[in-house]
Amino acid sequence: MVVLLDQTRLPVEEAELVCADVPALVAAIRSLAVRGAPVLGVAGGYGVALAAARRFDVAEAAEQLAHARPTAVNLAYGARRVEAAYREAAGGGAAHAAARALAAARELHREDAEASARMAGHGRELLAGLVPGGGLRILTHCNTGRLVSGGEGTALAVVKAVHRAGELRRLWVGETRPLLQGSRLTAYEAAEAGMAYSVLADGAAGSLFAAGEVDAVLVGADRIAADGSVANKVGTYPLAVLAGHHGVPFVVVAPVTTIDPDTETGSGIEVEQRAAHEVTVGPGPGSGPAGAGGGPALAPVGAHAYNPAFDVTPSALVTAVVTDEGTASPVTAAGIAELCSTSRKR
Ligand code: MRU
């Protein structure tokens, strides 16, 4: 089985969610019990290994997992990679192929932790150059820390490295409506790490920039197109516009596995649309994400809602893309292609 930390219960409780089969794991992915691009890849990989161990139809399992959510490219990458390992070993018998699938999932998991450490190093280097003098005030959005990774994460791994070096003055945590990945999850990790942090309503970001309180914006990504456009949690694009207007560096941190060379431009990225109740109904008593716990009505009954899970930021608004293979800045199609080719050479 695949055992997950159920992120919908945080920060109220740290509860495990046991997925005994692929449909349970697909449901966990859709409900955001496990979420965030890199760990979706790892979960997809373990899901395929689980199907192999149980002698289920591995191709069907990989298909279901790859399509459980459409935007984060890592999910399909993880599922397909473990499926390929299984297929290559199939000639040696089912038990042998299942063992190879599990080994491939574990390898993916380990690689993600290593990528996270490399991103932290590259990101810290970049920030040292971008905002001289230390004492950084960093604004982040959604959750990009250890909850989404085999290691310390992506953007939040950089923040953690800056914090450990004594160079973080404050982490500004956008709450990230509607499912509050910022206030529920990033604030939980910031508190755990002993950072000075403040949670803000998403709509408060503009006045924070206007007050000159932000030195850099650091976010993750769910998919980076070949032209450097970045799909990330809804609310990222407005932060990039604000950062551009105020002359603040806007930095995207993601592993190269989040780059999708087959998607040429941002308009080719499929953005997941989610249920209206996530916007119109509040969190239930005690725990759980907005809309899932029978909480109070936040809009009249039957209200329609616009609820895209992600938005797309054009490369012109992105100061740098920091990956485990290095940094592209300025962000151009050539720079993104170079990062991918470096990764293929490894
Ligand atoms: O809907 P979610 O919570 O899965 O969205 C996650 C994000 O948008 C993250 O910012 C992104 O996956 C990067 S995580 C390293």
3 state SS of 262: coil
The DSSP bridge partners found for residue 297 are: 281
ipTM tops 0.95 = yes
Q: What tens digit of pLDDT does each residue of 158-184 get?
A: 999 999 999 999 999 999 999 999 999
270 pLDDT band, cuts 50/70/90, is very high
Residue 290: the pLDDT is: 46
Residue 293: the pLDDT is: 54
* pTM across the whole model: 0.95
Nearest partner of 322 among 200, 191, 170, 156, judged by Cα: 156
Task: Report the residue among 148, 160, 188, 312 best suited for mutation to probe ligand 1: largest number of ligand atoms under 8 A from its CB.
Answer: 148
Residue 190 pLDDT more than 90?
yes
Clarify whether 215 is annotated catalytic.
no
pLDDT greater at residue 239 or residue 342: 239
With a 6 Å cutoff on the Cβ, whether 36 touches ligand 1 is yes
With a 6 Å cutoff on the Cβ, whether 323 touches ligand 1 is no
344 pLDDT band, cuts 50/70/90, is low
Q: What average pLDDT score do residues 208-220 get?
A: 98
Residue whose tokens read 């990679």: 81
Express as a percent the part of the chain with pLDDT over 70.
Answer: 94
Contact between residue 104 and residue 90 where contact means Cβ atoms under 8 Å apart: no
Active-site annotation holder among 222, 260, 311, 324: 222
User: H-helix or E-strand containing 269?
Assistant: none
What whole-number distance in Å separates Cα of residue 281 and Cα of residue 292?
8
Residue 289 pLDDT more than 70?
no
Residue 33 pLDDT more than 60?
yes
Q: What average pLDDT score do residues 257-276 get?
A: 97
Residue 342 pLDDT more than 90?
no
Please report, in range form, the residues annotated as the binding site. 35-37, 69, 181, 232-233
Q: How many angstroms separate the alpha carbon of residue 88 from the centre of ligand 1? A: 31
Residue 283: the pLDDT is: 74
Cα–Cα distances in Å, from 221 out to 7, 169, 277? 19, 24, 25
Q: How many angstroms separate the alpha carbon of residue 309 from the centre of ligand 1? A: 9
Cα–Cα distances in Å, from 143 out to 48, 61, 97, 281, 345? 25, 27, 35, 22, 30
Q: Which residues contact 80 (CB under 8 A, 6 or more apart)?
A: 62, 66
Strands (E), the chain: 2-5, 16-19, 136-140, 168-174, 197-200, 216-219, 223-225, 230-233, 250-253, 259-260, 310-313, 320-323, 326-328
Q: Look over the chain and give the mean of its residue pLDDT values, rounded to a whole number.
A: 94
Q: What average pLDDT score do residues 221-230 get?
A: 98
Residue 282: the pLDDT is: 84
